[in-house]
Structure 1
Amino acid sequence: MPIRAILTDIEGTTSSVSFVYDVLFPYARQHLPAYLRAHADEPEVAAQLAAVRREAGEPEAELERVIAILLAWMDADRKVTPLKALQGMVWREGYRAGEIRGHVYPDAVTALHAWKQQGLGLYVYSSGSVQAQRLIFGCSDAGDLTPLFSGYFDTEVGHKRDPAAYRRILGEIGHGPDEVLFLSDVVEELDAAREAGLQTCGLAREGGELSGHRTVSGFEAIGLDAGQGSPSADHQAR
């Protein structure tokens, strides 16, 4: 079945892990406390603070306690939806101030443009919030890439190692599972997508294999035949 849509991860796939861990996370950790103290009463922020209290089981927690919880979650790299939403708000300030530029690999930029020209639907699925996804592509070092994408998904649809999340995404984008190719650098995510029926391709930018899945080192090797949207024979699963 020809590929009609691409669903891609960000960290380690379109963008470097070091950008996320060495730039984005430290920026959020440094600026989150002051941001929350300044904006805690705004509805957008207050809703996420309430979600943190529910998730932590501390409904009466004062703001400083909530900040401590969030910093602990950041240190543990917890994939918690309100944390991701609040990080996205902080990053939005950094992007707007010109203090952050989103990193996207040049080979990913080239492939995304080519696939868009071929008429493929392009979608993002990341544990980072939809807002953070739009920022990394909208304020990227390659310019505004958001016009390339037809939709964004985060942990609101479920966790990336849960096949049910991919089924929900399929319901949203309106393609059959065998028409969608999922790209990621994490075996467990690829496994979950395959269990949901999607085609998969692993990105191992430092080399190696993502066990059980077709694995390439960059977007130029994914091998979708021009105009057909189907994986080329040279890159089928080993």
Structure 2
Amino acid sequence: MLPQELWDLIIGHLDGDIPSLKCCALTSTAFRPASQKGIFSRIYVSSISPSSYHGHTFGNLYTLLSTSPHVAPLITSFELSLHHQSEASEFEKILLILPLLCNVHRFFLLSATNLIFEWINLPVRVQESLVAFWHASNIVDLRIEAMGHMALGEGSHLRMGGWSSLKHLAILWSYPERLWERNDRDSLPPPQLESLTVGYFNLDLTKHAGLDISFVRRFSAALEIEQNASSVPNIQDLLAQFQDTLEYLHLEMLLHRQR
């Protein structure tokens, strides 16, 4: 048996050939658990065939997870890329993958192109399954990027109360509505975020989502505001929510002139 250090060195040099490396890891008992974890810890999957060899399609990822059950617990970071030209039937395959992901702590949802992927293009069942998965899986780090206008029907909200595991949240070029609406009947406290990043959003995010940002250490935002005096108190109210724990603050103000 080769020393673990040597296997780690080999893996480091093969990192540019991820498919071959993963096939070797599945078939060779020489890869110890620590090496397997390094290979499979982060998985990228796309609704179209990824241009990079680092990614999976929904179909081959499902085959990997269903035929090699020892892989799923190794996946701690999951990146889901959606293409606006994909068929609804392709998105339905997400329903097969999510139940197999049992140890994901970081979840990234993003558009596969530089265009906005409209959340409404996802089948309702897929929307609801994603929301349920985020909450039930104790996600620590959630990033939603370029999903456009995001809303769910009544009774399908992602209740923020009790989601104590969530520590890092980023919402960029996305506009959540009911998806993040807090259930007033939920007596459980909202998550205490350590970092919050919002891009091209309005100042009502924290109120609308029921987020507690008082303990945030890092806050970065690009905020859309009207170019008038009434916007100033709103910004002051936002900044007043932060406590002495704030270590990093980055604000970009996008002004809209009144006509």
Give me the TM-score of the superposition, normalised by structure 2.
Answer: 0.27
- The structure, 1 or 2, with the larger RCO (C-alpha pairs under 8 Å, 6+ apart) is 1
Report the structure, 1 or 2, having the larger helix content: 1
State the structure with more CA Rg: 2
Between structures 1 and 2, the one with greater strand share: 2
